[in-house]
């Protein structure tokens, strides 16, 4: 977890794979303990995922993937403004 409370990682889901950002302040506020919100960079959206399905497919960003960290943070901040 970063200083901002973000976890940056990668969702390995075949053709739907994407870098993702999880904000602890937002991720558990779905109203459903079985789901989490994640920002999906490829879709440029904050999406609700079933935690039991998505958790095994998540991994931290690898060192060679760190260049997407700033894209994830910037994209998330923009998506967060429009998220309700």
pLDDT per residue rounded down to tens, the chain (84 residues): 555 789 999 999 999 999 999 998 887 788 888 999 999 999 999 999 999 999 999 999 999 999 999 999 999 999 999 887
- Nearest CA to 41 out of 66, 70, 19 is that of 19
Rg (CA), the chain: 12
Residue 2 is predicted with a pLDDT of 57
């Amino acid at each position: 977890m970063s200083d901002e409370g973000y976890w940056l990682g990668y969702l390995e889901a075949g053709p739907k794979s994407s870098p993702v950002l999880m904000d602890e302040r937002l991720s558990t506020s779905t109203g459903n303990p079985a789901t989490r919100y994640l920002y999906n960079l490829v879709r440029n959206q904050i999406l609700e995922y079933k935690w039991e399905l998505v958790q095994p497919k998540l991994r931290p960003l690898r060192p060679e993937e760190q260049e997407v960290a700033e894209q994830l943070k910037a994209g998330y901040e923009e998506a967060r403004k429009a998220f309700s």
